[in-house]
Structure 1
């Protein structure tokens, strides 16, 4: 059901299970995923998480950084043929996009999955829950000062395709000096 986005009654013959058994199995699977991962992974960062992220990133020289943001295309092997056009983009094969924000220890604290592969990182911003929260003022509260300027919004490390917004810090292509080496694009 998850892999093919198919209703239970369409799977009964290939799985040799009744529709009610398939639905009950799916319900139990989802309950176990929530039970196992809810406390640590299935929540937006709370104040304690934000404080931890900010402290770690400050020690690394990134005052006010909440994480790194990027999108990736996952190839969709068994896609419904009628959807191939909207899910085919620059990869020339049907893909599904995952937008994620991760910390330095690879804690993915925000994920937005399932958009068609015909979109790119910039198009994803118009649909992203993370950026919607920024626009509505529901973003994590962050306060820090750099060179005498006070900031009230955290930022994310992003690649060049993202727009020039205050919430995205992009790498420096030709860094001069040790301080700028943190932002080198390799």
Structure 2
């Protein structure tokens, strides 16, 4: 992870969470507590390596309870701090800009790329393996992703069973339900294909 990205995440966690703001305070026997840096690293390692809290104990030299708390507080802090910028629907200006970008590369009227894929779940609990095992024979989670040409991801759905195909996932998609309900997009571009004018939806 680039240092700048990590620094921004650390700053966001420090702003949003008292748990991360607590400085290393000595306990009853005079031993210093865990620094915010270690807490964030512990949470990131659990996420990036897909490991449970009890294994993070060895990697980060913290207890299982602390590792679990680090992950929980980290997720809350990141969502709270970055939601306004990164977890929002695109604005009208974003949609117009994106439609123009796609029009330049030969896809007029397009406002994003959608893809559904699978992610192997190595630590899937035994109780869920029957539902999560698909054609590959391994527990897998399905995801739906929608992004712009500049790789700005603005719709993401994760955690569906491997038994779901792309059509099932799109039927459950909150994004496509908003389109069908007519509440998105707010700007509906019109475009021309082979000399024929077409209105978006």
Q: TM-score, normalised by structure 2?
A: 0.62
CA distance, structure 2, for counterparts of residue 132 and residue 22 of structure 1: 37
User: Do structure 1's residue 71 and structure 2's residue 119 form an aligned pair?
Assistant: no
> 2:200 is matched with which residue?
152
Pick closer, same or farther for the CA change 1:22–1:150 going to 2, 3 Å.
same
d(CA) in 1 for partners of 2:131 and 2:74? Answer: 30
1:77 is displaced (CA, Å) by 0.1
Give the number of the structure whose residues are more often strand, by fraction.
1
How far off is 1:152 after superposition?
Answer: 3.0
Whole-angstrom CA distance in 2 between matches of 1:23 and 1:76: 19
Matched, 1:143 2:189: yes
Q: Kindly report structure 1 stretches of 4+ aligned residues shifted beyond 6 Å.
A: none
Give the Cα separation in 2 of the matches to 1:124 and 1:50.
Answer: 23
Q: CA RMSD in A?
A: 2.7
Which residue number corresponds to residue 151 of structure 2? Answer: 106
Cα deviation code 1:144-179 (max 9, x no counterpart): 1323433133xxxxxxxxxxxxxxxxxxxxxxxxxx
* Alignment partners' CA distance in 2, 1:119 and 1:36: 32
Distance in 1, matches of 2:122 and 2:55, equals: 21
CA spacing shift, 1:14–1:108, aligned 2, 3 Å: closer
- Cα distance, 1:76 vs structure 2: 0.3
Listed as ranges, the matches of 1:3-152 within 5 Å are: 15=57, 17=63, 19=65, 21=66, 24-34=69-79, 37-140=82-185, 141-146=187-192, 147-152=195-200
Could you tell me how far apart the structure 2 residues matched to 1:122 and 1:63 are?
24
Gaps in structure 2 of 5+ consecutive residues: 1-45
- Uncovered stretches (5+) of structure 1, i.e. residues with no partner: 154-186
Alpha carbons 2:56, 2:67 under 8 Å: kept: no
Moved more, 35-44 or 126-135: 35-44
User: Which one is further off, 88-97 or 36-45?
Assistant: 36-45
| Residues 174-185 of structure 1: pairs in structure 2 closer than 5 A | none
* Aligned counterparts of 2:151 and 2:126: Cα–Cα separation in 1: 34
Q: Of Structure 1 and Structure 2, which has the larger fraction of its residues in helix?
A: 2
Q: Which has the larger radius of gyration?
A: 2
